[in-house]
A and B are shown apart, each in its own frame.
Chain A
Amino acid sequence: MTPEQDHWLVRPASIRKLWAGFIVVLALTVLADLFVEHHPHFGIDGTFGFGAWYGFISCVAMVFFSKGLGLLLKRRDDYYE
C-alpha cells in the first residue's frame, strides 16, 4: 500500500496541510496578545507572546535535560530480568 492509498490523515499532502493549519493557529494565538489585557504578577510574564516563547523554550530545555539524564540512566528494558 502506498501512502496515497492509506488513511487520508497519514498522506504526505494532508500532513503538509496540517502543518500549515497548525502554523496559522500558532500565529493567531500569539497575535491574540494584542487584543487581551494581561495582569502580570512579575513583569516578564506580561511581555508579548510570553506563553509562546516561555512554553517553547521550557519544553526544548526539558527534552534536552531528559536526553542528558537518559545517557546516564537508560538501560535495555530487560535490565532487571
Chain B
Amino acid sequence: MSDIVIPPGLVLIVGAFALPFVSLRLRNVLLLGLPLVALALVWMVPDGEALRLSWFGYELTPVRGDALARVFGTVFALMVFGGGLYSLNQPRTLELTSAYAYAGSALGVVFAGDLLSVFVFWELMALASTMVIWSAGREAWGPGIRYAIIHLLGGVILMAGVAGQIWTTGDIGFHAMATDGWPRWLILAGFLINAGAPPLQAWLPDAYPAASWSGMVFLSAFTTKTAVYVLMRGFPGAEILLWVGLFMACYGIVFAILENDMRRILAYSIINQVGFMVTGIGIGTELALNGAAAHAFAHIIYKALLLMSAGSVLYMTGKSKCTDLGGLFRTMPVTTVCGTIGALAISAFPLTSGFVSKSMINSAAGEEHLAVVWFVLAAATAGVFLHAGIKFPWFVFFQKDSGMRPPDPPANMRWAMYLLSAICIGLGVFPQPLYAILPYPVDYEPYTGSHVVQQLQLLLFSGLAFFLLLNALKRTRTITLDVDWLWRGLAPGPAVRLARWVSAWRAVALERLGGSLTFVVGSLRRHHGPEGIVGGTWPTGVMAFWTTVLLAGLLVVYYI
C-alpha cells in the first residue's frame, strides 16, 4: 500500500470546479465517477493521523482516519453518487459544482483531525451550500441570504470557541471535550446551529425548500449530519444534548403536522430525525453512539429518497403544496412506490433501514433507565409515522384527485430512486454490513419479537389516529410562524423606520454642512475650476520654457 494519502473530500472539491468547463457527456461521467473515487479514497485513509501540515506554527492534521470518520465518509460518498445520478438532467451546472464542493467540504470536516481544519471546511460548506440554494434562481435570493447570515454567525461563534480553546489549553486537536469553560460551550453552540437545534432552527425549513428540485436532495444530507458527526466526536455523553435532541424530535413533528408545503414537511422532519441522533449522542453509551451513527447513515439515504420523490413531483408538476397536489399515484407509480419506501424507512418500519438504526437509540435509553427520554422517544417514533410516514405520501399521491396526470420523471431520476430504495430495504433486511462499520463493536439484535410487535403497534395505531383525525389534519394554505419571524416579520419594520430616520437626519445635516462647505468649495473653484488660474490649460511653449529653466538651474547647481 502506498504511503500517499489523498484527502477524500479534495477529489470532490477539485472535480467540482472542472464541471463547468467540460462537455455535457464528460460532466455526467464526472458526476458519477467522482463520488466513486471519493468512496475508494475514504476506505484508503489509514487509521490515525494520515496527513500533517505545519501552518504558522500550528501542527494541522487535515486527514485523520478512524471508524467514526469512515461511517460518515462512506454514506456521504454514497449520497453524492445517488444525488449525482438524480441530477444528471439538471441543466444548471453552477448548482452541481456548488453541491459537489459542498459535499467535498463535508468530507473534509469528517476527516479533519484538528479544530482549525474543521473550521476551514465548515466555512467552505456554508459558502458552497448557500450557492446551492442561490442556484435555484431569483426566488431563492432571500432565503439564501438568511441562510448565509445564520451560518456565518454560527461560523463566528465556532471560531471564537476554537480560538478560546487554543488560547486557554494550547490544544488544537479535535477530540472529545468536556462541557466546561466558555470555549467549549461556544464550540458546542457553533455545532448545534448547523444541526438545526433551537433557538435558531428556523433556518432549515426556511432555506432548504427554496432550493431546486435536485438542490434540496444534496442539502438534506450534509450540513445537519456533519453537525451530528462533530457532536459525536466532540461531545459524546453531554447531558444537554439529551434535552436539545428531545426538543428537536418533538418540534419537527408539531411543525410538520401544521405544514402545507411537501418539501417543508420533509425539512421539519429532518430536524425531528436529527433530534433522535442528538439524543443518542447525549445518552453517550456505546450502544447509543452506534445507534446515532447508524441512524445518520440510514437517515441520509431515506431522507434523500423522500426528497427525490418530492423533487420528482415538483419537477413534473411545478407544484409543492399539498393543497395543490393529490391523486398522483395513478400516473406516477414509481415515484409513489419509492416515496412510500422512504416514508416507511423514516418511520422505522421493520424490514427497513430506519428500524435497525433507530431501535438502537431507543434501546440504549431503556438500558440506561432514562424514563423521560424513553417515553418521549417512543411518542416521537409514533409521531414520525404521523407527520412524515403517512402525511407525505397521503397528501401528495393519494387524498383528493388534483386532476393532474403527470408521468414519472426521466430515467436517471427513477434509477436514483430505485438505488436508494434498494439500500433502505437492503439494510433493513440485512443490517450486518452497516453494523460492521459502526465505531464500536455491535452486540445488538433488532429483530426480537418484543421489538417488532411493539414497533408495529406504535406505528399502526399512529396510522389509525391519522385517518380518524383526517379532518383535523386537512391542509390549509397557511404557514406557521417560527423564530425566523424575529428577523423576517419583526425586525424589518423598525429597520426600515430606522433607515428612514437616518436618511432624514442625513439630509438636514448635509444641508447645514453644505452652507459652510459652499465657501470652501467656492474658493477652490475660483483657483482650480475651469476659469481658475491653476485649472486652465497651459500652452506647450510655456511648459518647454519652464523645463529649460529647471534644467539650466540644475546645471548651475551641479557646477557649484
Contact = CB atoms under 8 A, between A and B. Distances in A.
Contacts of A58: 378-379, 382-383
B378 to A, nearest CB: 6
B383 A62 contact: yes
Interface stretch (B237-245, B294-302, B470-478): B470-478
B458 A26 contact: no
B351 interface: no
B145 to A, nearest CB: 14
B469 A39 contact: no
A37 B450 CA distance: 6
A52 B461 contact: yes
Interface string A69-81: 1100111110110
Contact of B254 (A10, A50, A62): A62
Contacts of A74: 258, 476, 478-481
A52 B478 contact: no
Contacts of B473: 63
B254 A65 contact: yes
B257 A50 contact: no
A38 B250 CA distance: 26
A80 B489 contact: yes
B454 interface: yes
Interface in A32-81: 32-33, 35-39, 41-42, 45, 49-56, 58-60, 62-67, 69-70, 73-77, 79-80
Given A30-B457, A77-B478, A59 B382 contact: yes
B460 to A, nearest CB: 6
Contacts of B398: 9-10
B382 A70 contact: no
Nearest to A50: B454
A35 B478 contact: no
Q: Does more than half of chain A's interface fall in helix, strand or loop, or is it mixed?
A: helix
B457 A51 contact: yes
Contacts of B472: 63-64, 67
Contacts of B253: 62, 66
A26 B464 contact: yes
B457 A75 contact: no
Contacts of A51: 378, 453-458, 461
A75 B260 CA distance: 12
A33, A53, A70 pick with most chain B CB within 10 angstroms: A70
B482 to A, nearest CB: 8
Contacts of A56: 382, 461-462, 464-465
B449 A52 contact: no
A41 B366 contact: yes
A47 to B, nearest CB: 11
B382 A73 contact: no
A65 B257 CA distance: 10
B371 A42 contact: yes
Contacts of B366: 41-42, 45
A69 B489 CA distance: 18
A26 B461 contact: yes
Contacts of A67: 472
B344 to A, nearest CB: 15
Interface string A1-42: 000001101100000000000100110011011011111011
B527 interface: no
A37 B452 CA distance: 11
Given A7-B330, A41-B374, A66-B254, A55 B479 contact: no
Contacts of A22: 460, 463-464
B401 A6 contact: yes
Contacts of B382: 54-56, 58-59
Interface in B455-512: 455-466, 469, 472-473, 476-482, 488-489
Nearest to B488: A80
Interface string B381-398: 111001000000000001
B138 interface: no
A32 B453 contact: yes
B449 A35 contact: yes
B407 to A, nearest CB: 16
A60 B450 contact: no
B369 interface: yes
Contacts of B450: 36-39
Given A25-B460, A70-B480, A63 B454 contact: no
B320 to A, nearest CB: 11
A76 B477 contact: yes
B374 A42 contact: yes
Nearest to B379: A58
Contacts of B329: 7, 9
B171 interface: no
Contacts of A49: 457
Residue of B367, B378, B453, B456 most packed against chain A (CB within 10 A): B453
Nearest to A30: B457
Per CB-CB distance, the 8 closest pairs between chain A and chain B, nearest first, are A51-B457, A36-B449, A58-B379, A59-B465, A55-B458, A55-B382, A41-B366, A51-B454
Given A41-B371, A59-B469, A79-B479, 8 more contacts: A33-B453, A51-B461, A53-B461, A59-B386, A66-B254, A67-B472, A74-B479, A77-B479
16 contacts: A10-B327, A29-B457, A32-B449, A33-B453, A38-B454, A45-B374, A52-B461, A58-B378, A58-B383, A59-B466, A60-B469, A63-B469, A69-B258, A74-B480, A76-B477, A77-B478
